């Protein structure tokens, strides 16, 4: 048995070291694969009217987004375990291929049902691309140096947020909507080509694992029911309707069954030692609440800009640049500061507190007609919240050993995606309660019916409350010294 273990460990020990150039090539490749998944969340929306006119059954259009979200969110934790068993290279290649297969199905879809199925397949790959990108970066560099790559990740999301709507609108208007899916093929194949050889040098996990199939099934089913409830509640069905209450009850039962499975399985899908780690738990919950605020604000800020300030849909999209660029700037600043501070958690604490204060200020001036003031505040909100993502990611990955890195990163990705769905649903409930138009429903057309900014004040205060919850989770998160050396050009400060 020992000899077998030694033989299995030998390749890892003998694996040639990666040069800095090879590390950068791998990171560029995984970020390109992340861009694929991020782009697919933003490129579809502008083309949805054209798709509905082309394929018919326009009342099923929301499922183009929901189908992707369901599978991408539910599958993310499973990829971490799979990569711990079979290695990062095989797993990330599989995720890209599944994503591309879904893209082909979507591009060739003859009807709406086939397109929704293709989007669900895309989500099965896209969920892995999010999780694996951060896991691979975690493999390559120690935690103290890892923070600076968070700016690259934030920049990838910013590019997707800006380029997605522009490309989607251009393809749908001037060419054919199927190009929003065909464009994934050259990008995905290029990403696989550039990371293939360097990833062979990445050492595999040091020990064998098994996949808890029942646990994975229960998690996927529970997540699916919750996301359906959040997506349908208040729009397709009332929150107190039998349909929504039934979905929530099913979610509660399956969650209880999944918890029981975690305690009974020989090797559960998510190790108890990972979930019991206070840094992992509080760090992931902090990101969960922060993403709920950020994505909810991203969805309903354009409604405010169009309904109250009278901007067009295109102008409101451009106005969102302040929030997005602020987030990138915050993540970049945080990534540069983390290696230089012993108490690096304070960066995120100060950032979330600053973002919360700015959100309250935005709520107080919601009745203003000054676009410049709104732009300045949203940029500052983005900057403050952006500082948290590198701190939480690095903290969670630093809290576990390499054998559990994939699982811990998968949990973080899962809760980040789930937080996005929660934020949209929670702020959507506020919007519906005040009779506001939902995103994409032609907000500018009903601007004349909105006589008060009070509903938007409540929405911004609700987002601030989510930021406060994130702050509290960060305050409760223990701080563990980061592995890795300090920067050569600066001392580590208190």
3-state SS of the chain? Answer: CHHHHHHHHHHHHHCCCCCHHHHHHHHHHHHHHHHHHHHHHHCCHHHHHHHHHHHCCHHHCHHHHHHHHHHHHHHHHHHHHHHHHHCHHHHHHHHHHHHHHHHHHHHCCCCHHHHHHHHHHHHHHHHHHHHHHHHHHHHHCCHHHHHHHHHHHHHHHHHHHHHHHHHHHHHHHHCCCCHHHHCHHHHHHHHHHHHHHHHCCCCCCCCCCCCCHHHHHHHHHHHHHHHHHHHHECCCECCCCHHHHHHHHHHHHHHHHHHHHHHHCCCCCCCHHHHCCHHHHHHHHHHHHHHHHHHHHHHHHHHHHHHCCCCCHHHHHHHCHHHHHHHHHHHHHHHHHHHHECCCHHHHHHHHHHHHHHHHHHHHCCCCCCHHHHHHHHHHHHHHHHCHHHHHHHHHHHCCCHHHHHHHHHHHHHHHHHHHHHHHHHHHHHHHHCCCCCCCCCHHHHHHHCCCCHHHHHHHHHHHHHHHHHHHHHHHCCCCCCCCCCCCCCCCEC
Q: Count other C-beta atoms under 10 Å from residue 198's C-beta.
A: 20
Q: What is the pLDDT of residue 8?
A: 39
pLDDT on residue 11: 40
> Tokens at residue 263, please?
């305690």
Please give the angle made by the CA atoms of 315, 352 and 127, to the nearest 5 degrees. 70
Mind listing the pLDDT tens digit for each residue in 52-108? 777 877 667 667 777 787 777 777 777 777 777 777 778 888 888 999 999 999 889
Q: What is the pLDDT of residue 493?
A: 54
Q: Whole-model pTM?
A: 0.74
pLDDT given for residue 86 in this prediction: 74
CB burial string 292-325: b at 16+ within 10 A, e below: bbbbbbbbbbbbbbbbbbebebeebbebbbbbbb
Residue (of 254, 45, 73) closest to 161 by Cα position: 45
**What is the distance in angstroms between the CA of the first residue and the CA of the last residue of the chain?**
48
C-beta separation of 130 from 77 below 8 A = no
pLDDT at 189: 87
Look up residue 4 and give its two tokens: 């077998």
Cα separation, 57 vs 31, in Å, equals: 35
Nearest to 251, CA basis, from 289, 288, 219: 219
Closest CA to 301 of 446, 466, 443, 465: 443
| Residues paired with 233 in a beta bridge | 237
Question: Which residue is associated with the tokens 């109250």?
Answer: 308
* Residue 150: per-residue pLDDT: 66
Q: Which two tokens stand for residue 386?
A: 């952006």
Instruction: Express each pLDDT in 342-394 by its tens digit.
Output: 788 899 999 999 999 999 999 999 888 888 899 899 999 999 998 888 888 88
Please provide the average confidence, as pLDDT, over all residues in the chain. 78
Q: For position 259, what pLDDT does the model report? A: 86
Is there a contact between 144 and 338 (Cβ–Cβ < 8 Å)? Answer: yes
Round to whole Å and give the CA distance between 488 and 235: 55
What pLDDT is stored for residue 104 in this prediction? 92
CB 208 within 8 A of CB 85: yes
List, run by run, the mean pLDDT of 10-residue segments along the chain (494 residues): 40 52 77 78 69 73 74 76 76 89 90 88 84 76 68 70 69 77 86 77 59 78 81 76 91 90 76 81 91 82 79 70 83 83 88 94 88 90 90 85 74 80 78 64 48 85 93 91 58 51
| Pair 387, 351: CB distance under 8 Å | yes
What is the distance between the alpha carbons of residues 335 and 312, in angstroms, rounded to a whole number?
A: 35
């Amino acid at each position: 048995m020992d000899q077998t273990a030694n033989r299995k460990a030998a390749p890892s020990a003998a694996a040639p070291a990666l040069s800095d150039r090879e590390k950068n090539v791998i990171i560029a490749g995984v970020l390109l694969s992340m861009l694929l998944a991020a782009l697919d969340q933003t490129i579809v929306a502008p083309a949805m009217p054209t798709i509905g006119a082309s394929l018919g059954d326009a009342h099923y259009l929301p499922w183009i987004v929901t189908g992707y979200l369901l599978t991408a969110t539910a599958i993310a934790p499973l990829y971490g375990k799979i990569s711990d068993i079979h290695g990062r290279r095989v797993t990330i290649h599989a995720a890209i291929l599944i994503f591309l297969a879904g893209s082909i199905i979507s591009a060739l879809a003859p009807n709406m049902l086939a397109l929704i199925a293709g989007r669900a397949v895309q989500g099965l790959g896209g969920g892995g691309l999010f999780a694996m990108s951060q896991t691979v970066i975690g493999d390559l560099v120690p935690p103290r140096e890892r923070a600076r790559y968070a700016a690259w990740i934030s920049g990838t999301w910013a590019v997707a947020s800006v380029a997605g709507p522009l490309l989607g609108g251009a393809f749908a208007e001037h060419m054919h909507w199927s190009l929003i899916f065909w464009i994934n093929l050259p990008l995905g194949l290029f990403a696989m080509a550039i990371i293939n050889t360097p990833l062979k040098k990445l050492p595999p996990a040091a020990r064998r694992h098994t996949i808890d199939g029942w646990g994975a099934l229960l998690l996927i089913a529970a997540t699916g029911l919750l996301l359906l409830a959040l997506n349908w509640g208040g729009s397709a069905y009332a929150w107190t309707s039998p349909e929504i209450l039934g979905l929530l009850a099913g979610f509660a039962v399956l969650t209880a069954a999944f918890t029981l499975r975690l305690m009974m399985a020989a090797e559960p899908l998510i190790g108890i030692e990972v979930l019991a780690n206070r840094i992992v738990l509080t760090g992931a919950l902090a990101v969960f609440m922060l993403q709920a605020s950020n994505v909810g604000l991203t969805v309903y800020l354009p409604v405010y800009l169009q309904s109250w300030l009278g901007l067009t849909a295109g102008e409101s999209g451009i106005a969102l640049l302040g929030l997005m660029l602020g987030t990138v700037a915050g993540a970049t600043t945080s990534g540069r500061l983390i290696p230089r501070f012993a108490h690096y958690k304070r960066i995120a604490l100060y950032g979330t507190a600053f973002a919360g204060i700015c959100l309250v200020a935005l709520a107080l001036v919601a009745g203003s007609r000054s676009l410049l003031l709104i732009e300045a505040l949203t940029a500052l909100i983005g900057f403050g919240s952006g500082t948290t993502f590198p701190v939480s990611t690095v903290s969670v990955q630093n809290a576990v050993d390499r054998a559990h890195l994939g699982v811990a990163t998968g949990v973080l990705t899962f809760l980040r995606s789930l937080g996005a769905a929660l934020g949209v649903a929670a702020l959507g409930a506020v919007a519906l309660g005040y009779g506001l138009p939902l995103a994409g429903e032609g907000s500018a057309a009903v601007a004349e019916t909105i006589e008060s900014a009070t509903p938007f004040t409540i929405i911004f205060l609700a987002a601030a409350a989510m930021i406060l919850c994130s702050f509290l989770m960060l305050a409760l998160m223990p701080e563990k010294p980061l592995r890795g050396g300090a920067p050569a050009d600066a001392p580590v400060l208190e």
